[in-house]
A = this chain, B = another copy of it.
Amino acid sequence: MSINTYSYDEVKELSRLFKLLAEPNRLHILCNLGMECRPVSDIISATGLSQTNVSFHLRALREAGLVRPERRGSFVYYCLPDVKLLSLLEQTKEWIKLRRKT
* A48–chain B nearest beta-carbon distance, Å: 10
* A96–chain B nearest beta-carbon distance, Å: 6
Determine whether the beta carbon of B4 is less than 8 Å from that of A24.
no
* A59–chain B nearest beta-carbon distance, Å: 18
State the majority secondary structure of interface residues on A: helix
How many monomers of this chain does the complex have?
2
The one of B5, B31, B65, B82 in contact with A6, judged by C-beta atoms closer than 8 angstroms, is B31
Interface residue tally for chain A (C-beta within 8 Å): 42
| Residues A6 and B28 in contact in the complex (CB < 8 Å), given A34-B1, A88-B95 | yes
- A91 and chain B: residue at smallest CB distance: B88
Determine whether the beta carbon of B4 is less than 8 Å from that of A34.
yes
